[in-house]
Amino acid sequence: MWLDAPQMKNIIIINFNIILLLLNFNNVFSLEPNPSTGASFIFYVATNGNDQWTGTLPDVNAAGSDGPFATVKKAIDAVRGEKKNGSRSAFTILVRGGVYELGEPLVIGPEDSGTESGPFAVKAHPNEHPVLSGFKTINNFEPYMGKIYKADIARLISFDPNVRQLFAHGKRQILARYPNYDPLDPIGSGFLYVKTYAEKGSKRKFINQTGDVHAWPALHDAEVFIYPGNNWGGEKL
């Protein structure tokens, strides 16, 4: 994934395969603050938490040995574990303020539902504003060639390395392509045009313009997109 040097700040990638089953269809959503818990058992989640801790403290203790969880998923799993052990208590997960980048789909199903006497709720910590985000921030860019920088994102997107969206400064970027895309000529640039058909009466094979196709070393990694014009109508490819 490549960007010019001036575009290197505040880089965010987004992947639409993230499934958020919390009645919100946006890739980024907020948990509405609600200071009233009415719960008999509370788990806490914070950006400075640790999934190896008990999750029963709202802040890290003085010894740094216990405190809130780091992820909502871990807190949900903790509730599931308590229920599996026979607990019928009311459970509340309070999420501290901050942005939580999801590394995998967060799924809450019917089996996680509470009861009238033992409800289950996921809420923002009182007066705080947490955000669960499908974005991943890229901060490991390094010089590659000229004004081009590169970054290895495989470790950031462990569940799906085929990232389709890249945002810089809140603006969606264009995927690397050949020919290069020119934002000043969005219609005429970034496309190759067919010279002629290889077989008369058939549009299944074509001849490219001289010099358009190069000997790419890893052609199996390439994607080819075809944008048929009006004269391709009715042809089955």
Lowest mean pLDDT among 35-49, 96-110, 165-179: 35-49
Question: 29 Cβ partners below 8 Å, 6+ apart?
Answer: 20, 22, 131, 132
Indicate the Cα dihedral angle 142, 146, 147, 148, nearest 10°: -50
Q: Are 49 and 37 in contact (CB under 8 A)?
A: no
* pLDDT score at 73: 95
What the block records as the tokens of 165 is 């969206």
Indicate the Cα dihedral angle 172, 173, 175, 178, nearest 10°: 130
Cα angle 136-163-151, degrees, rounded to a multiple of 5: 65
Distance CA 91, CA 43 (A): 8
Chain-centroid distance of CA 123 in Å reads: 22
Rg of the chain (C-alpha set):
25
pLDDT tens per residue across span 180-216: 888 888 877 888 888 887 777 777 778 888 888 877 7
More confident residue, 18 or 159: 159
Q: Where are the domains of the chain?
A: 10-135, 174-237
Confidence category of residue 230, pLDDT binned at 50, 70, 90: low
Lowest mean pLDDT among 74-88, 110-124, 160-174, 220-234: 220-234
Distance CA 49, CA 150 (A): 31
Q: Are 106 and 71 in contact (CB under 8 A)?
A: no
Distance CA 223, CA 225 (A): 7
**For 131-155, what is the mean pLDDT?**
85
Q: Is 44 helix (H, G, I), strand (E, B) or coil?
A: strand
pLDDT at residue 161 above 70? no
What percentage of residues in the chain have a pLDDT greater than 70? 76
What integer best gives the mean pLDDT of the chain? Answer: 77
pLDDT tens per residue across span 98-118: 999 887 788 888 888 888 888
* pLDDT score at 1: 39
* pLDDT score at 22: 34
